[in-house]
């Protein structure tokens, strides 16, 4: 039987079952290689102690400090005992508390003058910061033999690595586990081609792993970080470059607009001229469509920058060439909205084959899951015969029974709402691979686009069409200043008095079905989780808020509700009447987040705004100010002024620049969410690389990757890189890249 390579050895074999289980369950570490790639978060220097004065509240910390004093107090009539230990680092002091039987060991070991590492959650008691029942490991000369002793001198030099840890497995225990597996680092296969590694002056991979875990100097850490960041960026960019290369080999039907055809007729009808940005992006798309390889393009643009117009013109060009185009929307509300606005923009051109329709026209059909059978049957017939050149639909388009006459272009709106399988299923309906245009109104920083969507060419629309108005945004602290909330409702009335309309957005629906779902979910939750969230009230709900407003501050105004559980016909009816100005205030969930276009709506009040993400708030806000009157967005929250949630809302209120907000969002959420496995399949490969800070590394790695793949697409001459790629691309991730 073949020997298991050293880095693939299960941790259970080396560290024992209990430790391996904690590592697997809490840190997702399963093999020696996984543990070697679990890098220190930071390093402590002996003599250069953590500043206790700057500890964050409610966070798990690891500190190195000296014991100043220790005292035992009795309470409860002498029946209870409490040990209070004060530690210091010169910058500040921190109290440690132990209770009951837990006081004996620390009382004996943590004597004044001794030094140790302490780990625990920082809490506040009697206006003083403390760690309750921290775990600890004594250092250096104070260390005794045993599990909880750390002999600093046995580590390389004076730098103490502090690892991302979890309950039951403190940083120093992870360090001991690393000691056990570190000899295996010498067998790490180096994925970088020799010429590239030498040309850029990088240390070898085994050396980088040794230096990152046991550095002798700060320079060692820097050497290791530079090298390990490069590995992550380069291997990922090679995967994406190979995907682009493979796509470039696929055949596709070139789709060119016909002079004097449908596109020209549509352009002649437009009551406005396209922005310079729309013209530029349209040219990029038309150039792609004219090639005999499938287009793979990401179109990102600010809310309201006119992406739908650009996509529609591309779709019409494909119809001109004899093909069909499909637009995939994430919700029925959005699919209906797109269908309505596209048929309105096209006028008689959308009535091909119908009485009164233009000779050049085509049919534009809608296909959603809840359509009645006769309408659905007709839509399916129009698609298979080619009668309908354009189809707008939800995931219903993906079903097996949907067949196209000649699918030439797939437009995916708000791509982050779809799994890659859904996109792939629709693309698979073409006789040859159709061209793909992916749209998002969530601005993506350049490095994220290169990392997550590296297999797509990117076009950016950052210019708003003429006539769009500015939007003023304000945070409304309902808890601190209730009169601000009262004023918010007055502002809504003022807008309605001027003949405008308003949205009120809530995080929940609040109907019986949703409540039942939540009860079921709550039952499945652990008791500890319930206790943690017991003091947090449930999010505000559409149904309750609509009723309160109708009877209270907005009494007399025409108020309607809109949410995802309503019948499709009811949803469509409400949106149609709101669009026609027959409804003053629409109280809705985030179903209005994308694509809803009512130029007369000028005000939006977002309740419990702290429960939405930065990008989502920016999307929602983009629903107002779409006409000539200025927009107003009020972010209502009960979170205290100093909280991170308020800082996030202040950031949203301070800028309308979506790209700036996406940077803030990314910095706050870290890459884990942005590169979430459902979206990218590469989250766990980014351990050292940060996509915001390491822009230069990513850009340089992309260039090198393109050159390597151009010369050797199958990596036949680079077996070590091939191995690293196989490790990155497990089945799920490979699927992502194959279907991107």
Rounded CA separation 317/640 (Å): 53
Q: What is the dihedral of CA 640, 645, 646, 649, to 10 degrees?
A: -150
- Indicate the pairing of strand 115-125 with strand 60-75: antiparallel
Q: Which long-range contacts (CB under 8 A, 24 or more apart) does 174-183 make?
A: 174/38, 175/150, 177/11, 177/15, 177/19, 177/23, 177/35, 178/35, 178/36, 178/38, 178/213, 180/14, 180/15, 181/11, 181/14, 181/32, 181/35, 181/36, 182/36, 182/209, 182/210, 182/213, 182/214
Phi, psi for residue 596 in degrees, rounded to 5: -75, 125
The pLDDT of residue 729 is: 67
Structure tokens given for 292: 């005999």
pLDDT at 559: 95
Task: Please state at what angle helix 218-249 crosses helix 205-213, rounded to 10 degrees.
Answer: 140
Compute the Cα dihedral for 381, 383, 389, 391 and give only its sign. positive
Query: Torsion over CA of 587, 589, 593 and 596, rounded to 10 degrees?
Result: -40
CB 681 within 8 A of CB 239: no
Say how many CA atoms lie within 13 Å of 463 toward its Cβ: 12
For residue 10, the surrounding DSSP H or E stretch is: none
On whether the CB atoms of residues 274 and 266 are closer than 8 A, the answer is no
Looking at residue 514, what is its pLDDT? 59
> Do 290 and 317 touch, CB atoms closer than 8 A?
no
pLDDT value of position 560: 93
Q: Beta partners for 631?
A: 471
Which of 94, 93, 92, 95 lies closest to 82 in space, CA to CA? 95
State the 10-residue block means of pLDDT for the chain, 740 residues long.
63 84 85 89 63 71 83 80 86 85 84 84 79 80 52 52 80 86 88 90 93 90 92 88 84 90 91 88 95 89 80 94 91 85 88 66 90 90 92 85 90 66 71 87 69 74 72 90 91 95 92 60 44 58 92 94 86 89 93 77 94 86 85 92 84 82 67 38 58 81 91 89 76 44
Buried b (16+ CB within 10 A) or exposed e, 584-615: bbbbbbbbbbbbbbbbbbbbbbbbbbbbbebb
First-residue to last-residue Cα distance in the chain: 38
pLDDT for the residue numbered 613: 84
Contact 140, 116 (CB under 8 A): no
Report in angstroms the alpha-carbon separations of 680 from 511, 614, 704: 34, 20, 21
b/e burial code for range 454-480 (CB count within 10 A of at least 16 → b): bbbebbbbebbbeebbebebebbbbee
**pLDDT the model gives residue 500:** 95
> What is the model's pLDDT at position 607?
94
What lies within 8 Å, CB to CB, of 271 at 6+ separation is none
Task: Kindly write down the DSSP assignment for every residue of 480-513, as one continuous string.
Answer: T-HHHHHHHHHHHHHHHHTT-EEEEE-SB---HH
Of 371, 414, 373, the C-alpha closest to 396 is: 371
Q: Tokens at residue 179, please? A: 């000691």
Pairing of strands 60-75, 80-88: antiparallel
Closest by Cα among 452, 447, 449, 7 to 191: 7
Q: Which helix (H) or strand (E) holds 68?
A: strand 60-75
CA distance 410 to 413: 10
Phi first, then psi: give them for residue 357, nearest 5 degrees: -75, 155
Q: Detail the DSSP E strand segments found in 414-491.
A: 435-440, 457-461, 471-477
C-beta contacts of 210-215 below 8 A and 24+ residues apart:
210/182, 210/185, 212/39, 212/40, 213/36, 213/39, 213/40, 213/161, 213/178, 213/182, 213/185, 214/155, 214/156, 214/157, 214/161, 214/182, 215/43, 215/156, 215/157, 215/159, 215/161
- CA gap 194, 206 in Å, rounded: 14
pLDDT of residue 422: 65
Strand order in the sheet with 559-562: 471-477, 631-637, 601-606, 501-505, 585-588, 559-562
By DSSP bridging, strand 128-132 and strand 115-125 are antiparallel
| Cβ–Cβ < 8 Å for 408, 324 | yes
Which residues in 400-418 are b (16+ Cβ under 10 Å) and which e? Answer: eebebbbbbbbbbbbbbbb
Contact predicate 600/582, CB 8 Å:
no
Alpha helix (H) residue ranges in 170-214: 171-181, 194-199, 205-213
Which are the contacts of 662, defined by CB distance < 8 A and separation ≥ 6?
442, 443, 444, 445, 448, 614, 615
Q: What is the pTM of this model?
A: 0.66
């Amino acid at each position: 039987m073949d020997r298991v390579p050293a880095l693939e050895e299960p941790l259970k074999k080396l560290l024992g079952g209990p430790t391996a289980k904690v590592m697997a369950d809490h840190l997702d570490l399963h093999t020696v290689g996984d543990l070697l790639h679990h890098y220190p978060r930071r390093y402590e220097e002996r003599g250069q102690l953590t500043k206790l004065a700057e500890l964050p509240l409610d966070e798990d910390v690891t500190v190195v400090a000296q014991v100043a004093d220790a005292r035992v107090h009795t309470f409860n009539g002498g029946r209870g005992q409490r040990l209070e230990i004060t530690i210091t680092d010169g910058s500040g002091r921190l109290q440690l508390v132990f209770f009951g039987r837990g006081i004996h060991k620390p009382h004996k070991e943590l004597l004044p003058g001794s030094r140790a590492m302490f780990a625990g959650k920082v809490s506040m008691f009697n206006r003083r910061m403390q760690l309750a029942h921290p775990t600890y490991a004594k250092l250096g000369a104070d260390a005794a033999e045993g599990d909880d002793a750390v002999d600093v001198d046995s580590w390389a030099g004076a730098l103490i690595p502090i690892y991302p840890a979890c309950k039951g497995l403190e940083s120093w225990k992870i360090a001991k586990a690393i000691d056990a597996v570190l000899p295996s680092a010498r067998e790490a296969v180096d994925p970088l081609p020799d010429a590239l590694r030498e040309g850029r002056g990088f240390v070898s991979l085994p050396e980088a792993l040794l230096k990152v875990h046991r550095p002798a100097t700060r320079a060692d850490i820097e050497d290791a970080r530079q090298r390990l960041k490069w590995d992550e960026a380069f291997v990922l960019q090679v995967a994406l470059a190979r995907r682009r290369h493979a796509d470039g080999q696929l055949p596709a039907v070139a789709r060119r607009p016909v002079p004097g055809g449908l596109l020209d007729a549509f352009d002649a009808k437009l009551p406005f001229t396209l922005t310079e940005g729309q013209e530029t992006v349209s040219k990029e798309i038309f150039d792609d469509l004219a090639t005999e390889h499938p287009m793979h393009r990401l179109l990102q643009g600010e809310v309201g920058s006119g992406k739908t117009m650009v996509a529609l013109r591309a779709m019409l060009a494909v119809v001109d060439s004899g093909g069909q185009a499909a637009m995939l929307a994430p919700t029925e509300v959005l699919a209906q909205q797109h269908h309505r606005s596209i048929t309105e923009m096209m006028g008689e051109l959308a009535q091909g084959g119908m009485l009164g329709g233009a000779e050049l026209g085509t049919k534009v059909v809608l296909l959603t899951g809840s359509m009645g059978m006769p309408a659905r049957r007709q839509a399916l017939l129009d698609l298979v015969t080619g009668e309908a050149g354009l189809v707008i639909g939800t995931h219903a388009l993906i079903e097996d029974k949907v067949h196209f006459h000649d699918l030439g272009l797939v437009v995916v709106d708000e791509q982050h709402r779809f799994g890659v399988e859904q996109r792939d299923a629709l693309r698979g309906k073409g006789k040859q691979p159709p061209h793909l245009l992916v749209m998002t109104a969530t601005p993506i920083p350049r490095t994220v686009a290169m990392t997550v969507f590296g297999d797509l060419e990117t076009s950016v629309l950052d210019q708003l069409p003429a006539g769009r108005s500015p939007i003023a945004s304000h945070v409304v602290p309902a808890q601190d200043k209730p009169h601000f909330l009262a004023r918010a409702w007055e502002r809504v009335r003022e807008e309605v008095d001027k003949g405008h309309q308003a949205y009120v957005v809530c995080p929940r629906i609040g109907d019986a079905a949703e409540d039942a779902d939540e009860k079921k979910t709550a039952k499945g939750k652990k008791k500890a989780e319930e206790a943690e969230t017991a003091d947090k009230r449930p999010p505000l709900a559409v149904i309750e808020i609509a009723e309160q407003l109708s009877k209270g501050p907005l009494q007399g105004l025409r108020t309607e509700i809109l949410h995802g559980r309503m019948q499709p016909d009811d949803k469509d009816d409400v949106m149609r009447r709101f669009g026609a100005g027959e409804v003053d205030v629409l109280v809705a969930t985030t179903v209005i987040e994308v694509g809803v276009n009512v130029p007369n709506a000028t005000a939006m009040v977002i309740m419990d705004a702290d429960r939405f993400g930065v990008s989502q708030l920016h999307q929602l806000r983009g629903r107002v100010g779409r006409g000539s009157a200025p927009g107003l967005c009020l972010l209502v929250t009960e979170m205290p002024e100093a909280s991170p949630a308020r800082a996030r809302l202040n950031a949203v209120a301070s800028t309308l620049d979506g790209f700036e907000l996406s940077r803030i969002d990314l910095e706050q959420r870290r890459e884990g969410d942005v590169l979430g496995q459902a979206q990218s399949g590469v989250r766990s490969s980014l351990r050292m690389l940060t996509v915001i800070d390491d822009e230069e590394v990513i850009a340089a790695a992309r260039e090198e990757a393109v050159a390597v793949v151009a010369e050797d697409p199958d990596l036949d001459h680079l077996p070590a890189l091939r191995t690293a790629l196989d490790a990155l691309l497990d089945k799920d991730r490979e699927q992502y890249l194959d279907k991107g």
